[in-house]
Amino acid sequence: MRYSKLFGRTSKEAPHDADSVNARLLVQAGFINQLAAGIYTYLPLGLRVLMKIKTIVRQEMDAVDGQEVLMPALIPKAPWETTKRWDAIDVLFKLKGAGDKEFALGPTHEEVVTPLVQQYVKSYKDLPVSVYQIQDKFRNEPRAKSGLLRGREFAMKDMYSFHTSLADLEHYYDRVKQQYLTVFSRCGLDAIITEASGGVFSKYSHEYQVATPSGEDLIYQCDACQWAVNREIAQVKKGDACPVCGKGIVLEIKAIEVGNIFKLSTRFADDFGFRVALEDGSAGKVWMGCYGFGPSRVMGSIVEVHHDDAGMLWPKSVAPYHVHLVSLSHKDEDVKRQIDEAAQDMHDELEAADVEVLWDDREEVRAGEKFADADLIGIPLRLVVSEKTLAEGSCEWKERHEIDARLVKLKDVQEQTKEWLSAPERLTSH
Amino acid sequence: MRYSKLFGRTSKEAPHDADSVNARLLVQAGFINQLAAGIYTYLPLGLRVLMKIKTIVRQEMDAVDGQEVLMPALIPKAPWETTKRWDAIDVLFKLKGAGDKEFALGPTHEEVVTPLVQQYVKSYKDLPVSVYQIQDKFRNEPRAKSGLLRGREFAMKDMYSFHTSLADLEHYYDRVKQQYLTVFSRCGLDAIITEASGGVFSKYSHEYQVATPSGEDLIYQCDACQWAVNREIAQVKKGDACPVCGKGIVLEIKAIEVGNIFKLSTRFADDFGFRVALEDGSAGKVWMGCYGFGPSRVMGSIVEVHHDDAGMLWPKSVAPYHVHLVSLSHKDEDVKRQIDEAAQDMHDELEAADVEVLWDDREEVRAGEKFADADLIGIPLRLVVSEKTLAEGSCEWKERHEIDARLVKLKDVQEQTKEWLSAPERLTSH
């Protein structure tokens, strides 16, 4: 992709009203654009990141036998009355349709998925089953803030599992709990499994927390066994001996919540009278789990964790492009043509090897500005072609998280880039 | 995928309230589930079709240099007032958020995309530019009907192009007009480009109409030059000589509208005061085009066009799976094991060759019921493994649109399936 043709440019100034690092950098770099508080448009660079995060979570939910569905955002009032949540959820956006019929815009989908599964699942033989969707949710937040971290409209992956017993739910819950670590790790985040309030349905839920100084949450974690708990329910304080392993010391950590999973027990199935025929012919209760993951929130969290003063540092797995190719223009027409041709060749070679390239081909822009834009955008590998590098038959190779650059021969670039791309991620949260 | 594990089964009875063929077959076959009038959940089979249609339109919009973005559904009142459409669009869903701020759920996105592009495009050098999104739209239809054809919440691909002159808009408009034919053809539809009302902005818009007896629209088409016009603006009637080529006769055809494209002129850019710096330094007007395509509506239309008394007939390109593998159970345990193993081997071999397989592995279900389900679901190739076929070292090969089956040696199945998959589509609208 030629940067000169890309829709959504960097701007020289940071937005004056950004209340968080992710909002500031994502807006300034041309990844997202704010339409209203907590409501954003994804520009091409930002949408590529969001889609990669969605693909990762889709693959990992498929790996735990989740089946993808897509439920509507518009949900009639009736099921919310069945669960007594029409008035209980304070962030519910409500609206009226033709004939004064009332609807809510779904901030969560227990009210849709429970009666849906009830229509198809009649017998214990049909269970367990787990369905998920990647869909836009709505929350009427009184104070939307922090860029992509707390929005009024945002992407969610919500999965719901159904079981004939608590034991089966717990077995599946543990499986998803582990798989979530893979999802976050593939997104370049070291997530900490943290005990949190389970509400009325179970003793604990589990949150996935990522340590960062800008985090809104405070968690306590043992420095030996890694056990962690949210301050909201913590019975320990900083410096205490770990109540779980007895060996470590409890640390206090600022963190962002990037996912959560709940055991819902039989609460929603009971509300809808959802029972299944058991082997002995009796009508058995149905146990549910739910598993949330916010792709847009995760995108914002990655920026909170992976940035420096110059801009963002995207992990290879979710970067909008793998390579930021920069060609430096030249006054001499012949030299300029040579540089352009070399850059074009490199672009074509890399794309042919499935390497995604953003090519800053702008003619009127100085080198310093191009480098500043590349740092801001944060693509993990920058390759520069200039008169100087071509004199050596080379380009300049600089990884975003490293300070030094080096020369790589043009004939070796494709090979080395492929190697670099398949090597393990070096960017982690800590 | 094992059918015994699939979420969303066929039901023996058609839904009693279906008002169209697509609603009846898609619900009965377990592709979609109705939550409210015009509001559907996509079950795994249906979502696979929808995602394939979205992928096709994404590829073809990329081919005309469209850049993908994602705009919000929640749109503040202000830009609708700027364009004077807050009260003019009668199907606008309106709602209030925190602090009594008013929003609409977008049925179209001129009010978002115009000021968005205005923020990044300052000069004639930045034009033309074309951005599109694949996003869920909302229409407060007084009478939602016809399954996926007229919904209250539905998937749309909407693209918007921006130009410095009418001539440049017309050039691009013609390019997209042609590319749309490829989109429909890849979806198994022969679309007819039809002149339609252009509203106040241009003489004509163009609709893409697919001939089918259940169509709500009536169009007139020349049997020689293929020129076509919607009845709403037609100055011809059935049997007239073609006013364009003078050679053919005008036919009257019932059809479904599956897409439309408009020249918007400078109307929306003018409303927002969107001008660009021209080469001579003056402020130039901005010309817009918009290009709509409804993936969910197209999914419903494919069913309206491609079905028979037994069920649906999906084109290979958008079928939920390529192959419906049916293994017939047997009372004898040894024979049963042989059948299962042969089916498992075939499933694994085909999947290894990137052939998508739905395997009806149900043990307690009779052959007749499995075949009826396969016909209803409409996957284009059915392969049957039974005691009888295995005695010949074969499976039974039957394409959904053909009457006769034949035997194919097990060792040749993978090869022949790959050949069949890469052969041109045989299913077209006529």
Chain B residues touching A94 at Cβ < 8 A = 95
The pLDDT, as a whole number, for residue A24 is 96
- Could you give the CA distance from residue B340 to residue B347 in angstroms, rounded to a whole number? 10
Nearest-by-Cβ selection for A153 from B7, B42, B72: B72
Extract the tokens encoding A162: 């159904």
Asked if residue A102 lies in contact with residue A76, where contact means CB atoms within 8 angstroms, the answer is yes
CB under 8 Å, gap of 24 or more: what pairs does A21-24 form? A21/A147, A21/A214, A21/A303, A21/A304, A21/A307, A22/A146, A22/A147, A22/A148, A22/A149, A22/A299, A22/A300, A22/A301, A22/A303, A22/A304, A23/A146, A23/A147, A23/A148, A23/A300, A24/A147
Asked if residue A143 lies in contact with residue A79, where contact means CB atoms within 8 angstroms, the answer is no
- Could you give the CA distance from residue A265 to residue A358 in angstroms, rounded to a whole number? 48
Partner-chain contact B39 A72, CB within 8 Å = yes
- Could you give the CA distance from residue B61 to residue B180 in angstroms, rounded to a whole number? 9
**Backbone phi, psi, residue A200, to 5°:** -90, -5
Q: Which of A210, A208, A174, A178 is nearest to A194 (CA)?
A: A208
Cα–Cα separations (whole angstroms), residue A199 to A236, A261, B2, B159: 20, 12, 37, 44
Chain B residues touching A119 at Cβ < 8 A = 33
Partner-chain contact B120 A7, CB within 8 Å = yes
Domains of chain B with bracketed CATH:
3-308 (3.30.930.10), 323-422 (3.40.50.800)
**Where are the alpha helices (H) located in B204-353, listed in sequence order?**
267-271, 295-305, 333-352
- Cα torsion angle, A380, A386, A389, A395, sign: positive
Strand partners, B277: B123, B283
Strand partners, A291: A159, A261
Extract the tokens encoding B371: 């075949």
The pLDDT, as a whole number, for residue A198 is 78
- Could you give the CA distance from residue B221 to residue B182 in angstroms, rounded to a whole number? 20
Asked if residue A250 lies in contact with residue A205, where contact means CB atoms within 8 angstroms, the answer is no
Partner-chain contact B70 A8, CB within 8 Å = no
Q: DSSP state, A15?
A: P
Name the A residues in 37-56 with CB < 8 Å from any B CB.
Answer: 39-44, 47, 50
Name the B residues in 98-127 with CB < 8 Å from any A CB.
Answer: 98-99, 101, 103, 105, 112, 116-117, 119-120
Name the A residues in 8-27 with CB < 8 Å from any B CB.
Answer: 8-9
Count of alpha carbons within 13 angstroms of residue A25, beta-carbon side: 26
The pLDDT, as a whole number, for residue A430 is 45
Regions of chain A with pLDDT less than 70: 199-202, 427-430
Extract the tokens encoding B294: 């409804």
- Could you give the CA distance from residue A37 to residue A20 in angstroms, rounded to a whole number? 13
Paired sense of beta strands A250-265 and A204-211, if any: antiparallel
Count Cβ atoms below 10 Å from residue B207 Cβ, excluding itself: 25
Name the A residues in 143-162 with CB < 8 Å from any B CB.
Answer: 143, 152-153
Chain B residues touching A42 at Cβ < 8 A = 69-70
Longest dimension (CA), chain B: 87
Chain B residues touching A142 at Cβ < 8 A = 98-99
Q: What is the ipTM of this complex?
A: 0.97
Partner-chain contact A98 B142, CB within 8 Å = yes
| Tens-digit pLDDT string for chain B (430 aa) | 999 999 999 998 888 888 899 999 999 999 999 999 999 999 999 999 999 999 999 999 999 999 999 999 999 999 999 999 999 999 999 999 988 999 999 999 999 999 999 999 999 999 999 999 999 999 999 888 889 999 999 999 999 999 999 999 999 999 999 999 999 999 999 999 999 997 655 678 999 999 999 899 999 999 999 999 999 999 999 999 999 999 999 999 999 999 999 999 999 999 999 999 999 999 999 999 999 999 999 999 999 999 999 999 999 999 999 999 999 989 999 999 999 999 999 999 999 999 999 999 999 999 999 999 999 999 999 999 999 999 999 999 999 999 999 999 999 999 999 999 999 987 665 4
Count Cβ atoms below 10 Å from residue A172 Cβ, excluding itself: 20
Asked if residue B210 lies in contact with residue B185, where contact means CB atoms within 8 angstroms, the answer is no
The pLDDT, as a whole number, for residue B430 is 45
Q: Which of B373, B122, B168, B397 is nearest to B265 (CA)?
A: B168
Nearest-by-Cβ selection for B93 from A68, A95, A152: A95
Q: Which of A44, A23, A56 is nearest to A356 (CA)?
A: A44
